Amino acid sequence: MSNRSNRPLIIVESPTKARTISRFMKAKYDVKASMGHIRDLPKSKLGVDIEDGFKPQYITIRGKGNAIKELREAANQASGVYLATDPDREGEAISWHLCHVLGIDPREAQRVVFHEITENAVKDAFKKPGPIKQSLVDAQQARRVLDRLVGYTLSPLLWKKVRPGLSAGRVQSAALRLIVDRELEIESFKPEEYWTIEVLLEGEKGQVKAKYYGLGGKKWELKSRSEVDAVLQEIRDAEFIVVSVKPKERRKNPPLPFTTSTLQQEASRKLGFPVSKTMRVAQTLYEGVELGDGGYAGLITYMRTDSTRVSPVAVKEARQYIQGAFGKEYIGRARSAKSAPGAQDAHEAIRPTAVLRLPDEIKGFLTEDQYKLYTLIWTRFVASQMSSAVYDTVTCDMEANRHVFRATGSRLTFPGFTRLYEEGADTTEEPEGEIIPLSPNERLELKHIDPQQHFTQPPQRYTEASLVKALEQNGIGRPSTYAPIIATLTEREYVFREKRRLVPTELGRLVDSILREHFPSIVDVGFTADMEKQLDAIEEGASGWVEVIEEFWKPFSKQLEEAEEQIERVKLQDELAGVDCDKCGRPMVIKRSRYGKFIACSGYPECKNTKPFVERTGALCPRCKGDIVVRRSRKGRVFFGCINYPECDFVSWKRPVPGKVCPVCGCFLVEAGGKSKGYRCGNPDCKYTEKS
């Protein structure tokens, strides 16, 4: 080492990150990329010596030979080596593997950690390098070994008992259980009837709508038409009197800055991004973007975090911007949330590295997706430092023959953070009406009564966003694992997407039922969450990784032996397509691939005939009366077109509403969309509309 006279070497994971850091360090350092992990467990075998303390048998990843050779040559010529991989377990493990490949003692390594790739943050980090944190490496190693033990023992069992190519994973199996449980809830759901009564009342200063609340001050739910008729009989000729007017001030606090989970959820709701896309785009914003004369810069802080904590410097910068852009009254009070149990609080929340780097000012340097995600992160962070929105609200109760009707209204009196940002939601809430000035004891005239029958709805299937939320709430996985979990479930054909919601396939349900019966701990949400806590304890130095693995392996290996004997070979039945093969006459069945559904001959492999899957909507084309079927554009967008294409080129971007036909032209109806509650004719040449 003493003979080295060249510049120090910095090693990071990616070329983009290397380019960004090179600009900050000028010509004082050489910067090279490892291109991610350089060593891993072998793919061809278990790669874990169970008899020798679960020792991992690491090998060089195929294709990384030249990269390692280049790094070794550069390290031998350098006056020192700095390891600047990402600031988490995975990054620490990559640095640890680099130490072993380059012949560096991890205890003497110069490990550099920064949570944003900006010039000040990077230069400050290089002033205080430290050794590899072995507890972080052990936590990552424990996760890797655990997942390998489960995946490489359970998967072959599924190949033998169900079909080749299947997989089971420690975390993915618990996630699959959540999706299957939700489907079982939906299937067993029994709708219950209930009724609402809305009345239109007129007072001295205008009209007001109110809904039935109850009888004699007590809330009462109307369950049948007979109950509704009884109420209507008693109020029809009764006098409505205002019995209470309760004004209030309500404050709506701004949302906290993004964590990985909330970013994935909001990007799904607002931008329609799959979880994997959100993380891919966020990675590019973190590693650095060319900003013209501004050079390379990392635009956001590290995007894998459970924390909502923000540095005082960033808070100060945001507040200065808010005062200048909106006024002093828009600066909010300091707020923070308690970290969830097991949360990784080593990093800050996800925020822009510079608030004054406004999205529109750098739009020309970003891709469309980068601009959308950066704008979302920027507005969320700035809004988090703004004041609360303030509303005047009022609740009015009106009584008619002891039956109480209630009206609520609100008015925004100070917009606060809502001038900049409104948080998305998975469900839509009915908006409150405007405040109508009513006075106690005021008498109101009944103008209209509207009783309506309703039925309770089953729980909704998970979207990617709501599944991520459920995984986080149940302590399953960590920020870095949410995207791979969902990707694995879809790639293995355990779930598929329908209208952006995750639906378990028959294969997924079969695998889940086998695991529930023979490996209950693997699919148990509580057990999986407890294992995450044990991994956290390893990271904190409170547990040894080998002991944690051993405690898991003893009962699990016994379950494996019993399952091998007890599980009988399962024949998975394909869904019939309802047509026969035009080549051999055998029934055709519905299959799924990563590109969607198709139909194939049940006589495979003797007959390899396949056809596109046609999903009929039940509606007829207004031009030629052919079936309207579901189609996809080249970009994957769903639309609805005539089955007789190209002879008939009729298309609609709106899905036909079952059973709804236009009385004018006979075409199907579609939902009107927007703020309109109703339907319109699917034929663009017809202007018929209908209220719902």
681 neighbors 689 (Cβ within 8 angstroms): yes
- Which residue in 58, 212, 302, 679 is the catalytic one? 302
Q: How far apart are CA 620 and CA 618, in angstroms?
A: 7
Can you tell me whether residue 123 is helix, strand or coil? helix
Residue that has been written with the tokens 């990985």 in this structure: 260
Can you tell me whether residue 195 is helix, strand or coil? strand
330 neighbors 416 (Cβ within 8 angstroms): yes
Residues linked to residue 403 through DSSP beta bridges, in sequence order: 215, 400
Q: How far apart are CA 596 and CA 611, in angstroms?
A: 12
Query: Which of 168, 143, 134 is CA-nearest to residue 153?
Result: 168
Strand duo 9-12 + 81-83: pairing: parallel
Q: How far apart are CA 350 and CA 354, in angstroms?
A: 12
605 preceded by cis ω (within 30°)?
A: yes
187 neighbors 171 (Cβ within 8 angstroms): no
Q: How far apart are CA 296 and CA 290, in angstroms?
A: 4
Query: Which of 83, 32, 118, 116 is CA-nearest to residue 296?
Result: 118
Q: How far apart are CA 434 and CA 356, in angstroms?
A: 37
Strand duo 9-12 + 30-33: pairing: parallel
677 neighbors 659 (Cβ within 8 angstroms): no
Can you tell me whether residue 332 is helix, strand or coil? coil
- Could you give the dihedral angle defined by the CA atoms of residues 627, 630, 633 and 635, in that order, rounded to the nearest 10 degrees? 180
How many residues does the structure list for the chain? 692
Query: Which of 479, 467, 543, 254 is CA-nearest to residue 345?
Result: 479
**Taking the CB of residue 58, how many other CB atoms lie within 10 A of it?**
18
Q: How far apart are CA 630 and CA 504, in angstroms?
A: 21
H or E, element range at 10: strand 9-12
Q: How far apart are CA 387 and CA 82, in angstroms?
A: 43
Sign of the torsion angle spanned by Cα atoms 463, 469, 470, 472 = positive
What amino acid occupies position 532?
E
Q: How far apart are CA 302 and CA 679, in angstroms?
A: 46
Query: Which of 346, 342, 351 is CA-nearest to residue 255?
Result: 351
Residue that has been written with the tokens 């991992």 in this structure: 56
Q: Is 302 a catalytic residue?
A: yes
594 neighbors 491 (Cβ within 8 angstroms): yes
Q: What is the largest CA-CA distance in the chain?
A: 103
Active-site residue set: 302
